[in-house]
Chains A and B, each alone.
Chain A
């Protein structure tokens, strides 16, 4: 009988483990909101349609890097007909605030803060967080 109770206890433990996200969320119920992303106030569009940006902006960034560093091309024609200089710091972070936009979403998603900013500059950080 002791053995059977032991097995049942382990089974119960396994149940709790499998359903762990449920218990975790019970404790966090108040703060399960999606991140509050601060969008640029004076702009309507991103450089690509927003659905593409949301899911695949990292592809675009690597594409830009490839074009700039390997092919010496610098101008990007956006889907709405504008021209942008292909630059992480100059263009993306010219419109977007790294901390209140990129980082918030990345923290929410559990993306390792990309190491890009080991080398590239966050202009906000340079100005002591003020713009």
Chain B
């Protein structure tokens, strides 16, 4: 029941927001949310992240995975696809870079439809790719721009980035392009799970939770910037106090900021235990990071038990006389 899953995920996010909002107004909880939660979230994130990565790194990957989307390198007159089916390390790096920066595998996304007949028809569906790309690049921009709260003096490249993002100079504080883009992209990614019956069937609570959480994070941020402004100087003071490990937050900072902050912390702590871990996982995907050189180099499974083999040469030695007597050809006379 997908609507139920979506509803539960939504309520969970609302619950987090409510806890943060009322916590910020409760003297006993406020310091907990501001001074302890961010560090706890960071520690959980880093520990969980390492745990996952180390477990992946330590699992043996004895073979190359040749299920790729391009022609393997073979005979010189057959054109090989060097990026989709790389036979060299450089090629594998190229494939990984394209995957991480351009989401190349999403570009291949197709949609299956039942037409009259009935017959099945496949069509291209580039919107998932477009929305995912728009979302992730905006997120990167927003995260980097947020560094202005944590760094003093604010570096020049950061100012340049903010200026680029605020290129259209609409209003004050200036509208950031990425704010609109990330919001629309998230809306599409969510709507897609409702509209498309097949995707709806596949969607789990965790899928909706991640989307609602990000949407909540982005919406509270947008609200803070364009309507219910908070005291940014005090927010920066708080952010800087976090960086020197002596956190304190002014009473002047509004509860809305706490909702934003708590969303961040929940997201951070949630990453290692969820599908969002693809942040690290993509780099360790055997289908992306291994050159397919199985025809060039022999890969031996390290935990194969020693196999007793009897080669043809040995077999021929054993039966040489009999073979010769029967008049059969011998490889070695």
What is the interface of chain A, defined by CB distance below 8 A to chain B? Answer: 3-4, 7-8, 10-11, 14-15, 18-19, 21-22, 24-26, 28-29, 31-32, 34-35, 51, 54-56, 58-59, 61-62, 105, 107-112, 114-115
Contacts and interface: CB of A to CB of B under 8 A. Distances in A.
Nearest to A15: B46
30 contacts: A3-B57, A4-B58, A7-B284, A11-B49, A18-B45, A21-B147, A21-B150, A22-B244, A24-B150, A24-B243, A25-B240, A28-B153, A31-B152, A32-B152, A32-B244, A34-B233, A34-B236, A34-B237, A54-B233, A55-B230, A56-B229, A58-B172, A59-B172, A61-B172, A62-B172, A108-B152, A109-B236, A110-B158, A110-B162, A114-B172
A107 B236 CA distance: 12
- DSSP class of B's interface residues: helix, strand, loop or mixed? helix
Interface stretch (B15-23, B163-171, B291-299): B163-171
Most buried by A among B45, B154, B233: B233
A108 B58 contact: no
Contacts of A58: 172-173
A109 B240 contact: no
A109 B74 CA distance: 58
A19 B50 CA distance: 14
Given A21-B243, A34-B237, A4 B231 contact: no
B4 interface: no
A59 B151 contact: no
Give the size category of B's interface with A: 35 or more
Given A22-B244, A24-B150, A29-B244, 10 more contacts: A34-B233, A35-B233, A51-B231, A54-B233, A59-B229, A61-B172, A105-B233, A109-B154, A110-B159, A112-B162
Nearest to A114: B172
**Considering the complex of A and B, which 5 residue pairs feature the smallest CB-CB distances, nearest first?**
A110-B154, A110-B148, A21-B150, A25-B243, A58-B172
A26 B252 CA distance: 27
B57 A112 contact: no
Interface in B187-235: 229-233
A28 B152 contact: yes
Contacts of A110: 148, 151, 154, 158-159, 162
A10 B243 CA distance: 23
Contacts of B171: 62
Given A25-B240, A114-B172, A8 B158 contact: no
Interface of B: 42, 45-46, 49-50, 53-54, 57-58, 147-148, 150-154, 158-159, 162-163, 166, 169, 171-174, 229-233, 236-237, 239-240, 242-245, 252, 280, 283-284
B272 to A, nearest CB: 12
A25 B229 CA distance: 26
B57 A4 contact: yes
B290 to A, nearest CB: 11
B244 A109 contact: no
Contact of A8 (B57, B169, B244): B57
A54 B162 CA distance: 21
Given A4-B57, A109-B236, A24 B284 contact: no
Contacts of B162: 110, 112
A24 B231 CA distance: 23
A22 B243 contact: yes
B135 to A, nearest CB: 20
B172 A108 contact: no
Nearest to A54: B231
A53 to B, nearest CB: 10
A56 B230 CA distance: 8
Nearest to A65: B172
Nearest to B284: A7
A105 B153 CA distance: 12
B145 to A, nearest CB: 9
